[in-house]
Chains A and B, each alone.
Chain A
Amino acid sequence: MKAEDRNDRDVIFKLMREHEYVIGSNKLTILAIDSLIESIKSLNCNSLEETRKQLKGLFAIIRETEPKVIPLIHLLESLEADIDLGKNKTVKMLKGKCLKVLKEKRIFFMDKMVKTAEHGVKSIEDKDVIILHSVSSVVLNILIRAKKKGINFEVLVLEQDSIKTTQIVKVMQEHKIKFSVIPEFNLSHVVEKATKLFIGAIAVTKNMKSVTAIGTANVVSLAHINDLPVYLFVNSLKFSNEGCNKQRIYRKKRTRGEHVKYDADVYSHDLVDLSLIENIITEDGKVAKKKIKEYLSCKHK
């Protein structure tokens, strides 16, 4: 791979990871589709062969991000099947077909998100105290819908870094949802007050683990020990037919400390065993654990 191409690939990996950290995988998937649409529109290439090669190259990069954005990969796989890169006779045809199919995939994905949220609202009852950990757009959407429905509930926001927590607090304030904030490391003091824990994920893997935001594993463990029901909200596109070792979770050595320096291995995401999660909600509603294999084998779309 040429140095410039490697540089471009690394730039995309970094940007995708940074976005996922702040906005979650659902919004990232939408953002990536919108970005693909804009970039294909702006592409100024007269050669059909070159255009095909470029698109294939870009899709290959997106499939290998660190970590993998599973819903986006599934959408791209079906996109490539639908547009059949080899069939289009002109650049205009190829670009036109790509744009048309991308817009369809966007609607398709949004639809799954909405349906997941609609089913998710059924998980909230009056007087619920819900612990909220990650910036999952589906989870936030569920809470907003529940508030609009008039359900009386409260949210305990686990404080992480200021960017993520600010995002969540903004939504709470905007929609006048009753909430309080507690540092993630102080959860043990309030876990008994809570009735539920809501989480999202970037993927559910073949070996029955969910790839989640950092810190989720500890939070889920504490919830499990305290018999607090954990709800995972994921649409079917997030189920991967590969194990967690294939998810390309990003790992970096970071040097920490001021006067005393040390190296720390930092991973971008946590792995949470599905055995710790009582409720998995998709666009089809609550999924029994024995049905998960169907999703993982990608028969269910």
Chain B
Amino acid sequence: MEGALIPIIVFLVVYLAITFEFVNKAVAAILGTAVLLVMGIVDEHTAVELIDSETIMLLLGMMIIVSLLRKSGFFSLISVKIAEMTKGSPVKILVLFSIITAIMSAFLDNVTTVLIIIPIIIELTRGMGLDPKVFVISQALISNIGGTATLIGDPPNIIIGSKVGLTFNQFIINLFIPVSIAFIAVLAYIWFINRDVIKPIDKSVTKLFSVQLLLEKIRFEFLNINIDKKFMTKALVCLAIVILMFVTQTVTGITPGVSAVLIAMVLFVIAKTDVDEILEEVEWSTLMFFAGLFILVGVLEEHGVIEWIAHNVFMKIGDNPYIVVMTILWVSGIASGFLDNIPFTITMIPIIQLMLESNPVPNNILWWALSLGACFGGNITMIGASANIVSVGIAKKHGVKISFLEFMKSGVVVSFISMVIASIYLLIYLRLSL
């Protein structure tokens, strides 16, 4: 671990800055990188090589496709249709919106999903005189659970899949079961603790009447945009093609990142839209954040820090695969609840790779443990996942204030339920694999 002191200090300072939001996290990550460059710890060519371009391309490509789809009005249309289907019933609002949130989170990113769902769910529930908090928190939690199911659903999965070489199909095949069970269990829990509020309204003509007025208001507010059907069709077809390309990765040999960027550019050409306007919506700070973190962790790896942590911390737990898997799951889960799960995941990948060299665990179970832990654990607190922060932020803009403790009250239990389900699943999977 020669010469590792400076990279360790820089990394810790950056991590603290991100956790306590001293500065914008992209600025923190790139500033940390700049310090390493200035001090000659790493040169610029090596720094660029440390950036996982597959992850960046996948994120960039999907951001563009999603942005174009949003511009077409597709999401507004879906949200209003779902709102109409609920007919104002709080039970149906919870169930139908949770299903759509989970599916959208699995195939788009969680932040986009909550950006679309939260405003309409606030409008719907507040308009009926219900407290929107319950519904806002539930959708944030569900988006993290749903996003766990696929390669592209959650940032930790994108990082794991790209760095480790796991395919879109492998994620779905291995994670669909625990995610589905966790979804049902969490939904049942949310309904149970809020059953006084989340109850049918069809016994009250007054509530039914106000729901009709409310749905009309929602139709007006959310569909007051020009829906270009041709544009929407093109965007949807491209989304379908990119997912098909993910599914057929092993046949075509085209990685998800390449697929995403290719289809995004094709969509730009066929949609004939304002490119600059769409590019403005790309979260460049998120991409910079990822790039900076890859460099920081890569430098730690080059200086032997990761190897030291792997040998002196994680490998000390022994070689019992059951204990190793549970440790990765629960450490990832708890850490993700309080720290940003993206830098945590990036840091854990080389550690797990080293662990697997000396103590192989079959069927990529350690990676599934990391994925489930990082994603489910992100629900513990408001700061555990980007979707949580964004949901609370949108709610605040709409006059719905959710405190850290209020979120955590639901988040801790929901995370615990989903982590227990993940534990049982992984233990059975491991048992069957050995």
Query: Given contacts A42-B87, A44-B202, are A19 and B208 in contact (CB under 8 A)?
Result: no
- B213-A16 in contact (CB<8A): yes
Ranked nearest first, the 3 interchain pairs of A and B with the lowest CB-CB distance are A35-B212, A39-B208, A15-B213
Q: Which residues 12-59 in A have Cβ within 8 Å of B in the complex? A: 12, 15-16, 18-19, 22, 31-32, 34-36, 38-40, 42-45, 51, 54-55, 57-58
Is residue A11 contacting chain B, with contact meaning CB distance below 8 A? Answer: yes
The contact of A7 among B129, B200, B217, by CB within 8 Å, is B129
Is residue B20 contacting chain A, with contact meaning CB distance below 8 A? Answer: no
The contact of B213 among A5, A10, A35, A54, by CB within 8 Å, is A35
Query: Beta-carbon contacts of B107-132 to A below 8 Å, as 1s and 0s?
Result: 00000000000000000000111000
- A39-B129 in contact (CB<8A): no
- B210-A38 in contact (CB<8A): no
Most buried by B among A8, A31, A57: A8
Please measure, in the bound complex, the distance between the C-alpha atom of A60 and the C-alpha atom of B211, giving whole angstroms: 18
Is residue B205 contacting chain A, with contact meaning CB distance below 8 A? Answer: yes
The contact of B205 among A16, A19, A55, by CB within 8 Å, is A55
Residues of chain B contacted by A40 (CB below 8 angstroms): 205
The contact of A54 among B129, B200, B204, B210, by CB within 8 Å, is B204
Is residue A61 contacting chain B, with contact meaning CB distance below 8 A? Answer: yes
- A58-B209 in contact (CB<8A): yes
CB of A121 to closest CB in B, whole Å: 28
20 inter-chain pairs at a CB distance below 8 angstroms, sorted by A residue, are A7-B129, A8-B129, A8-B210, A11-B210, A12-B206, A12-B209, A16-B213, A19-B213, A19-B216, A35-B212, A39-B211, A39-B212, A42-B87, A43-B205, A43-B208, A44-B203, A51-B205, A54-B204, A55-B205, A57-B206
Query: Given contacts A11-B128, A19-B217, A42-B87, are A54 and B212 in contact (CB under 8 A)?
Result: no
- A15-B127 in contact (CB<8A): yes
Number of A-B residue pairs, CB cutoff 8 Å, is: 68
Residues of chain B contacted by A11 (CB below 8 angstroms): 127-129, 210
Supplied contacts A15-B210, A19-B217, A39-B212, 10 more A-B pairs, CB within 8 Å: A8-B206, A11-B127, A18-B217, A32-B213, A35-B213, A39-B211, A44-B202, A51-B205, A54-B204, A58-B209
Q: How big is the A interface, by class?
A: 20 to 34
- A8-B202 in contact (CB<8A): no
Please measure, in the bound complex, the distance between the C-alpha atom of A137 and the C-alpha atom of B251, giving whole angstroms: 60
Binding site for B on A (CB under 8 A): 5, 7-12, 15-16, 18-19, 22, 31-32, 34-36, 38-40, 42-45, 51, 54-55, 57-58, 61
CB of A199 to closest CB in B, whole Å: 23
CB of B406 to closest CB in A, whole Å: 21
Please measure, in the bound complex, the distance between the C-alpha atom of A54 and the C-alpha atom of B201, giving whole angstroms: 13
